[in-house]
Amino acid sequence: MNDVALILTNYNMPERTDALVKYLSQNCKWPIDFYVVDNGSDLVKPSRHTHTFLTENKQTCGGWTAGLYAAKDTERAYGQRKYLAYWIMITSAEFVPESGDPLTPMCEFLLSDPDAAIIHPALTEDSTTTWVQMLTTGGIEPRRTFMVDNIAALYRADWFDMIGWFDRDLTFAWGVDLESCWKARSQGLSIWIDERVRVKKVTDIGYKMDRMNMTRDERFKLAADEAKEVLTNKYGPDFLNKLRYEHTEDEWLGAYPKG
């Protein structure tokens, strides 16, 4: 089957989670199953769409992993059912209404190109993100890139199952995007930005709402230290160069927008 499993983690921000589910339910024409994982909310009630509730905060990757297991349980319960893709998403995502149905174009692209492992909406110009290659270039067609962040990334399910999803030791979600995209490239598969779909990333909203269990700086330090330890043990001290800058040909450099 070609259904999509949406894996969305929520931590103390049910209103944002509910708004995302409402928007996608109303706009996505493609068959989609929602797996909302409450990642241990302790200040406010969970989202009313919660599928799986964790009693403590497992950080982003822990929530995604719980959602992926729930999706696999659904597959097993229905026998031969197989998802086309997993849509990995965070509550910082805001879809631009002008995009209309954000899912169908990306699913059709995955079906049309068997070598496409990951596709992600383009980020709006006012998004707050460090990965400049994800910002919109104003184009109207999908364009190839070397790496995407997990804001609203659509992973081909059979390939993502094959690589074992994300490294379970990278709980803070920093580094899993580098590694999964590197695995795709090293296997000759491609990664894409879909300019037909736009999403805005709103950084630090959880801190502005005063609903996080640590400060922004504390989390950034823990995430960076964890990624450095885990990825150094796997790939050596130059892991960042290996995983991010493995390719230097024009096709990769061209992924950066001008300016």
Q: Where are the domains of the chain?
A: 4-253
**Could you tell me what percent of the chain has a pLDDT over 90?**
57
User: pLDDT tens for residues 197-244?
Assistant: 999 998 777 777 777 877 888 888 888 899 899 999 999 998 887 787
pTM (two decimals): 0.91
User: pLDDT tens for residues 148-163?
Assistant: 999 999 999 999 999 9
Strand partners, 9: 37
Give the pLDDT of residue 210.
79
**In the structure encoding, which two tokens stand for residue 146, read together?**
């070397």
Strand partners, 123: 135, 199
**Could you tell me what percent of the chain has a pLDDT over 70?**
93
Residue 31 to residue 91: CA distance in whole angstroms: 21
Using only the alpha carbons of the chain, give its radius of gyration: 17
Sign of the Cα torsion 179, 180, 186, 190 reads negative
**150 and 167 Cβ atoms separated by less than 8 Å:** no
Write the DSSP string, 169-195. T-TTSTTHHHHHHHHHHHTT-EEEEEE
Residue 22 to residue 52: CA distance in whole angstroms: 18
User: pLDDT tens for residues 174-196?
Assistant: 889 989 999 999 999 999 999 99
Residue 203 CB contacts under 8 Å (≥ 6 apart), including other chains: 92, 128, 129
Helices (H), the chain: 14-27, 59-77, 104-112, 157-162, 176-186, 205-208, 216-235, 239-244, 250-253
Residue 41 to residue 10: CA distance in whole angstroms: 8
Task: Determine the CATH number of domain 4-253.
Answer: 3.90.550.10
Strand partners, 154: 87, 119
Give the pLDDT of residue 238.
87
